Structure 1
Amino acid sequence: MANHSSSYPILHASFNQNNSGFVISTPDGFKIFDPNTGRLCYERAVGGFIIVEMLYSSSLLAIVGAGEQPSLSPRRLCLFDTKTNAPLREMTFLTSILAVRLNRKRLVVVLKEKTYIYDSNSLAILDTIDTVPNLKGLCAFSPSLDGCFLALPASTTKGSVLVYNVMELQSHCEIDAHLSPLAAIALSSNGTYIATASEQGTIIRVHLVSEATKSYSFRRGTYPSNIFSLSFAPSLQLPDILAATSSSGSVHIFSLGFDTNQRSKKSSSFLGSILPDSVNDALDPANHHVLHNAVSAGVRSYTVVRKVDKVADSSSSEFASCRAVISLITYNGYFQEYTLSINNQNESSWSLEREFNLLSFHDRNLAARHL
Structure 2
Amino acid sequence: MFRGVGTVETECSARKAGALVVTGKREVHTAESASGADDGQEEFEDIDLGFAKQQHSRWKMAEQTGGARVIKAGFNQDHSLVGICTREGAKIFDCDTVSCVYEHTEGAYSLLNMLNRTSLIAVVGAGEQPELSPRRLNVINTTRGSRVEMNFFSAILAVGMNLKRLVVVLEKKAYIHEMSSLNCLECLDTVPNPKGLCALSPNEDNCYLALPARTDVGAVLIHDALNLHALCQIHAHQSPLAAMAISADGNLLATASSQGTIIRVHVIPRAAKAYTFRRGSVPCAIYSLSFGPPQVFPQLLAATGASGTVHVFKLGPLERPPRSQLASSLLSAVMPPSMADMYEPERCCITIHHGCPPGVVSYCAVAGPPLETGDDGRPCLPRSNRPRVFVVTSAGYFHEYFLNLGSGREPGSFTLERECALISNPCDQVGAHFV
| Fold conserved between structures, TM > 0.5 | yes
> 1:333 & 1:249 partners in 2: Cα distance?
15
Considering fraction of residues, name the structure with more strand. Answer: 1
Contact 1:192/1:238 (8 A) holds in 2: no
| Contact 2:296 2:387 (8 Å CA) reproduced | no
Moved more, 237-246 or 39-48: 237-246
Which runs of structure 2 are paired with 1:281-360 in the superposition (5 Å)?
A: 282-284=344-346, 286-307=347-368, 323-345=386-408, 346-360=410-424
Alignment match of 1:167 (pick from 226, 250, 254): 226
Measured against aligned partners, the alpha-carbon deviations of 1:193-222 in whole angstroms (never above 9, x if no partner) come to 001111111111111012101011111110
Whether 1:203 and 2:262 are equivalent positions in the alignment is yes
Give the gaps of 5 or more residues in structure 1.
1-5, 310-320
Q: Aligned partners of 1:83, 1:361: CA distance in 2, in Å?
A: 29
The CA distance in 2 between the partners of 1:131 and 1:237, in whole Å, is: 35
Give distance in 2, aligned partners of 1:271 and 1:121: 50
Which one of the candidate residues 176, 183, 190 is aligned to 2:242?
183
- What's the TM-score once normalised by structure 1's chain length? 0.87
TM-score by length of 2: 0.75
CA distance in 1 between partners of 2:159 and 2:329 (Å): 43
1:254-265 correspondence runs (5 A) = 254-257=313-316, 260=319, 263-264=321-322
Equivalent runs, 1:20-59 vs 2, <5 Å: 20-59=80-119
- 1:368 is displaced (CA, Å) by 5.4
Correspondence 1:220 to 2:279: yes
Query: Structure 2: any 5+ residue segments left out of the alignment?
Result: 1-65, 335-339, 371-383
The separation in 2 between residues aligned to 1:150 and 1:173, in whole angstroms, is 11
1:142-199 residue CA offsets vs partner (Å, 9 max, x unmatched): 1212211110000111100001111111111010111111011111121110011111
Aligned to 1:125: 184
Contact 1:182 1:196 in 2 (8 A): yes
Aligned amino acid, residue 328 of structure 1: V
Sequence identity of aligned pairs in percent?
44
Q: Any conservation in 1 of the 2:406–2:413 contact (CA below 8 Å)? A: no
User: d(CA) in 2 for partners of 1:353 and 1:281?
Assistant: 37
For residues 318-352 of structure 1, give each alpha carbon's deviation from its aligned partner in whole angstroms, at most 9, with x where no partner exists: xxx97321111011110000011022152311101
CA spacing shift, 1:308–1:148, aligned 2, 3 Å: farther
Q: Distance in 1 between matches of 2:103 and 2:296?
A: 35
Provide closer, same or farther for how the CA distance between residues 272 and 182 of structure 1 changes in structure 2, counting only shifts above 3 A.
closer
Q: Quick check: which has more Rg, 1 or 2?
A: 2
Identify the structure with bigger relative contact order (alpha carbons < 8 Å, sequence gap 6+).
2
1:276 Cα deviation after fit = 6.2
Tell me which amino acid in the other structure corresponds to 2:271.
A
Number of residue-to-residue matches in the alignment: 348
Q: Shift of the alpha carbon at 1:114?
A: 0.6
1:143 aligned residue (189, 202, 210)? 202
SS of the aligned residue for 1:143 comes to: coil
Task: Look up the SS of the partner of 2:322 in the other structure.
Answer: helix
Q: Deviations over 1:292-335 (max 9, x none)?
A: 111121011010101169xxxxxxxxxxx973211110111100
Is the Cα–Cα contact under 8 Å of residues 328 and 344 in structure 2 kept in the other structure?
A: no
What's the Cα RMSD here?
2.7
Which residue number in structure 2 is paired with residue 370 of structure 1? Answer: 434
Letter in 1 for 2:125: G
CA distance in 1, matches of 2:162, 2:319: 35
Displaced runs of 4+ in structure 1, greater than 6 A?
236-239, 270-273
